[in-house]
Amino acid sequence: MSYSILAFSAVVAAVILDYFVFKTQLVRLKSFWTSYAIILPFQLLTNWWLTSRNIVMYDKEAIIGFRIASAPVEDLFFGFALILSVLVLWVRLKRKN
């Protein structure tokens, strides 16, 4: 399975978790997008540092080819999925307590 398919699948899974499994619907909240906007520059900086120094390399066959800050755009999708998933679980656990 290619990195692109995994990245897109991760986003779909995170949104399903948000909307249908835990019903937190964070992607509808301005506070979620504000927090994501704060995190995103640090993700881009980290991605740039790791990929520009060849610490992390990607097979050209496994990615779309479009890069942002020298990292494949798929990294942004994975980052989004991870951030959303963690916040969904955090909100869910807070509600449970």
Distance CA 91, CA 28 (A): 14
75 neighbors 48 (Cβ within 8 angstroms): no
**What's the confidence (pLDDT) of residue 31?**
95
Q: What is the pLDDT along the chain (97 residues), one digit of tens a residue?
A: 699 999 999 999 999 999 999 999 999 999 999 999 999 999 999 999 999 999 999 999 889 989 999 999 999 999 999 999 999 999 999 887 7
Give residue 96's pLDDT: 78
For residue 13, what pLDDT is reported?
Answer: 98
